[in-house]
Amino acid sequence: MRFGIQTLDGFEFCGKTVLCRVDMNQPVNRETGTLKSTARIAACVPTVRELSDRGAKVVLMAHQGSDIEYQNFYCTKPHAKELEKLLGREVKWIDDVTGPAARQMISELKKGEILLLDNVRFVSEEQTLFEMKLALTHEQQVMTQVVRKLAPLADLYVCDAFAAAHRDQPSLCGFEQVLPSAMGRLFEREYCVVSELMESPERPCVFVLGGAKISDAFIMMETVLENKAADQVLTGGLVGNILLAAKGEQIGRRSLDFIYRSNYGEYIEKARKLYERYGGKVMTPLDIACVEKGERKEYGLGNVPEEAAAVDIGSDTIKRYREVIFGAKTVFTNGPMGVFEEKVSESGTKAVFEALGETKAYTVVGGGDSVAATAKYAVTDRLDYICTGGGALIRFLAGEELPVVKALRYGAKKFGGQ
Ligand code: 3PG
Which whole-number Å values give the CA distances from 28 to 130, 144, 298, 369, in the listed order?
19, 29, 27, 10
Name the nearest CA neighbour of 75 among 41, 145, 32, 122: 122
Binding site membership of 315 for ligand 1 (Cβ less than 6 Å): no
- First-last CA distance in the chain: 11
Burial class (CB in 10 A: 0-12, 13-18, 19+), 401: exposed
Binding site membership of 164 for ligand 1 (Cβ less than 6 Å): yes
Give the residue, by CA position, lying nearest to ligand 1 atom 7.
Answer: 164
Binding site membership of 66 for ligand 1 (Cβ less than 6 Å): yes
Give the residue, by CA position, lying nearest to ligand 1 atom 2.
Answer: 368
Tell me, what's the pLDDT at 73?
A: 87
Q: Are 408 and 5 in contact (CB under 8 A)?
A: yes
User: What's the farthest any 2 CA atoms get from each other in the chain?
Assistant: 67
Ligand 1 center to residue 254 CA distance, Å?
26
Binding site membership of 167 for ligand 1 (Cβ less than 6 Å): yes
Q: Are 190 and 368 in contact (CB under 8 A)?
A: no
Ligand 1 center to residue 390 CA distance, Å?
8
pLDDT (tens, 9 = 90+) of the chain, 418 residues, equals: 999 999 999 999 999 999 999 999 998 887 787 898 898 999 999 999 999 999 999 999 999 997 755 668 899 999 999 999 999 999 999 999 999 999 999 999 999 999 999 999 999 888 776 655 558 899 999 999 999 999 999 999 999 999 999 999 999 999 999 999 999 999 999 998 888 776 778 899 999 999 988 988 998 899 889 988 899 999 999 999 999 999 999 999 999 999 999 999 999 999 999 999 998 999 999 999 999 999 999 999 999 999 999 999 999 999 999 999 999 999 999 999 999 999 999 999 999 999 999 999 999 999 888 988 998 999 999 999 999 988 888 888 777 789 999 999 999 999 988 7
Ligand 1 binding pocket mutation candidate from 24, 25, 119, 126 (most atoms within 8 A of CB): 25
Ligand 1 center to residue 227 CA distance, Å?
25
How far apart (Å, rounded) are the C-alpha atoms in residues 168 and 404?
7
Binding site membership of 126 for ligand 1 (Cβ less than 6 Å): no
Tell me, what's the pLDDT at 390?
A: 85
Ligand 1 binding pocket mutation candidate from 35, 63, 171, 194 (most atoms within 8 A of CB): 63
User: Phi and psi at residue 206, in whole multiples of 5°?
Assistant: -115, 135
Can you tell me which atom of ligand 1 is nearest the CA of 391? 3
Binding site membership of 234 for ligand 1 (Cβ less than 6 Å): no
Binding site membership of 391 for ligand 1 (Cβ less than 6 Å): yes
What is the SS3 assignment for 382?
helix
Ligand 1 center to residue 16 CA distance, Å?
29
Binding site membership of 403 for ligand 1 (Cβ less than 6 Å): no
